[in-house]
Amino acid sequence: MKITIRVNGKPRGFDVEPNTLLLNLVRDGMLLTGAKYGCGVGECGACTVLLDGESVLACMVLAFDADGRNVETIEGLGEYDSLHPIQEAYLEEGAVQCGFCTPGFVMSTKALLSEKSQPTETEIREYLKGNMCRCTGYVNIVRAVQSAAAKMKGPG
Amino acid sequence: MSINTHNTHIVNGFAYHAPTSVAEATKLLDEHGVEASILAGGTDLVPKMKQAILKPKHVVNLKHIPELAGVREEAEQIRIGALTRLRDLERSIIVTEKLPLIHEAITAIGSVQIRNMATVGGNLCNASPAADSAQALVALGAKANIAGPKCERSIELESFFTGPGRTVLGRGELLASLTLPYPEEGSRGAFIKLGRTSLDLATVSIAVNAKMKKETVESIRVVMGAVAPTPLRLRNVEQSLAKKKLTVDAIEEAGKLVSESIKPITDIRGTAEYRRVASKGLAMEALTRILDGSRRDK
């Protein structure tokens, strides 16, 4: 079946089977390999992408449910020489260790900061509880979100 | 087909249907019977399809039926469409203002990502004895409105569940909406969930909704999760509390009765013994919160 998805701002057409999962379309069909396959059952958050601005688990979304909608992945955020403030903050705060969970965390952070520009630590921990880091870097991740919030607010 | 050792794909193919009206949906469900699965948020169905626990030949996506989603205030009742996403439910002003107990129960479910996808109807139709939305909805006296190929029917939500993973839904039927009476004056609720982690299903949970007159219970509903094959309404506890002043002794007594009245099992989340002890504590905590709240009201 034919579907059209706006991926990181660019509309793209695909011919998918009904059983195609959005994550496999993103990774294998578009070669955007930032979003990761982790647990497959909705517990780890490694496959988090934004669907019309809201965080969802791409490994549990059927591709046809993204038809006509906006999909944002980590690749849409910044380039090597011009990182998004959230990416900068994660690097500066040492919130990236093995990196497997990072794209999911960064996309959840983007959704959080678009809903609430200056969240409290409790709000950050609550919002990010669907993303797991097995290098146990949560303290630095929370700091990174706070730092990103400050950067995006700008001076004053 | 791809190698699927880590459930990265849905291996089985299926015919996809996206009806745009309830009549069209119930006709499709009736036609394909047990070979059809309903797709709402997909947070339960999709993992089951990936693990080949379910292999439906037909998938009927209900997300293109606008009338099934959203929260509306009607003359005598509040209507919640079954396809309302949990995130939309928790953010609805009608829910936060008029049904705070639902807000509390819904925000305890899963993660933001899960709540962005999952629907309240899906949470109920999976009929997990631990589903967090069920207890609060039953405590508030929700009715389940069911659409079928030939007729519609409304039943009390507490009679909707018939066992773990089982509901009264027959061939061709779907859960269309929930209706709740407007809460009465002096009505207040408490929802508490115990889980291994905040992301997990409940080990034990409780929802209480009481109509209070100062510190005296006028009427009350006590509903527990994960302690019986279905969400369990404890009528004997409700009767023992009705017209009673909530004193420390009365709360202790009610906690004991709750613990004796549940039918828990031992599973990976906790033992039956643990559930008995914990349910007493949860009930006492819930009643204490209600009492504290009604004291503040004066």
Same domain flag for A10 and A57: yes
Q: In what order do the strands lie in the sheet with B143-147?
A: B71-73, B77-81, B174-181, B143-147, B152-156
- Chain A residues touching residue B11 (CB < 8 angstroms): 19
Same domain flag for A55 and A107: no
A127 with B8: Cβ contact below 8 A: no
A65 with B114: Cβ contact below 8 A: no
Q: Is A82 on the interface with B (CB under 8 A)?
A: no
Q: What is the 3-state secondary structure (H, E, C) of B166-204?
A: EECCCCCCEEEEEEEECCCCCEEEEEEEECCCCCCCCCE
Q: Is B110 on the interface with A (CB under 8 A)?
A: yes
> What pLDDT sits at residue A42?
92
- Chain A residues touching residue B104 (CB < 8 angstroms): none
**Region for B92 from its dihedrals, namely left if φ exceeds 0, alpha if ψ lies in -120 to 50, beta otherwise:** beta
Q: Is B50 on the interface with A (CB under 8 A)?
A: yes
Same domain flag for A133 and A102: yes
Q: Is B211 on the interface with A (CB under 8 A)?
A: no
Q: Which CATH number fits domain B71-181: 1.20.810.10, 3.40.50.880, 3.30.465.10, 1.20.1260.60?
A: 3.30.465.10
- Chain B residues touching residue A45 (CB < 8 angstroms): 111, 113
CB A53 within 8 A of CB A77: no
Nearest to B42 among A18, A19, A60 (CB): A60
Cα–Cα distance, B258 to B277 (Å, whole number): 10
- Under CATH, which number does the domain B187-297 receive? 3.30.390.50
Same domain flag for A35 and A91: no
**Same topology between domain B71-181 and domain B187-297:** no
Cα–Cα distance, A106 to A30 (Å, whole number): 20
Within a domain: residue A124?
Answer: yes
Nearest C-alpha in A relative to B63 = A65
Closest-CA distance of chain B to residue A156, Å = 31
Boundary-marking domain end, from A76, A108, A140 = A76
Same domain flag for A27 and A55: yes
- Chain A residues touching residue B87 (CB < 8 angstroms): 54
Burial class (CB in 10 A: 0-12, 13-18, 19+), B46: buried
Report, in angstroms and rounded to the nearest whole number, the Rg of chain A calculated over CA atoms: 15
B63 with A42: Cβ contact below 8 A: no
- The CATH number covering residue A32 comes to 3.10.20.30
Which A residues in the span 121-140 are in contact with B, Cβ-Cβ below 8 Å?
127, 129-131
Cα–Cα distance, B103 to B220 (Å, whole number): 19
Map out the domains of chain B as residue ranges: 15-61, 71-181, 187-297
Same domain flag for A32 and A60: yes
Please, what is the Cα angle at B243 between B237 and B245, to 5 degrees?
90
- Chain B residues touching residue A18 (CB < 8 angstroms): 13-16, 59
CB B167 within 8 A of CB B161: yes
Boundary-marking domain end, from A52, A76, A100 = A76
**A86-136 pLDDT, tens digit each:** 999 999 999 999 999 999 999 999 999 999 999 999 999 999 999 999 997
Identify the residue whose tokens are 């503040």: B296
Per DSSP, the three-state class of B248 is helix
pLDDT: is A64 or B294 the higher one? A64
Note down pLDDT in tens along chain B; length 298 residues.
445 667 899 999 999 999 999 999 999 999 999 999 999 999 999 999 999 999 999 999 999 999 999 999 999 999 999 999 999 999 999 999 999 999 999 999 999 999 999 999 999 999 988 888 999 999 999 999 999 999 999 999 999 999 999 999 999 999 999 999 999 888 999 999 998 776 778 889 999 999 999 999 999 999 999 988 999 999 999 999 999 999 999 999 999 999 999 989 898 888 999 999 999 999 999 999 999 988 887 5
Is the ipTM here above 0.85?
yes
Please, what is the Cα angle at B87 between B86 and B92, to 5 degrees?
100
CB B182 within 8 A of CB B78: yes
Boundary-marking domain end, from A20, A45, A76 = A76
User: Is residue A8's pLDDT more than 70?
Assistant: yes
Cross-strand bridge partners of residue B223: B207, B233
A112: containing domain: 85-151
CATH class for the region spanning B15-61: alpha beta
- The CATH number covering residue A112 comes to 1.10.150.120
Same domain flag for A62 and A110: no
**B15-37 pLDDT, tens digit each:** 999 999 999 999 999 999 999 99
Q: Quote the number of domains for chain A.
A: 2
- Chain A residues touching residue B111 (CB < 8 angstroms): 42, 45, 129-131
CB A114 within 8 A of CB A55: no
Transcribe A50-99 into DSSP letters: EETTEEEEGGGSBGGGGTTSEEE-GGGT-BTTB--HHHHHHHHTT--SS-
B15 with A108: Cβ contact below 8 A: no
Within a domain: residue A45?
Answer: yes
A129 with B198: Cβ contact below 8 A: yes
Same domain flag for A71 and A98: no
Find the Cα–Cα–Cα–Cα dihedral A54, A58, A63, A64, rounded to 10°.
Answer: -40
Cα–Cα distance, B241 to B228 (Å, whole number): 22
A130 with B111: Cβ contact below 8 A: yes
Same domain flag for A17 and A63: yes
Closest alpha carbon to B262 in B224, B220, B214, B215? B224
B116 with A54: Cβ contact below 8 A: yes
Same domain flag for A60 and A92: no
Q: Is the dihedral of CA A121, A119, A36, A54 positive or negative?
A: positive
- The answer for residues whose C-beta is within 8 angstroms of residue A107's C-beta and 6 or more apart is A35, A48, A49, A50, A55, A72, A73, A74
Q: Is the dihedral of CA B266, A43, A134, A24 positive or negative?
A: positive
Same domain flag for A24 and A70: yes
Within a domain: residue A156?
Answer: no
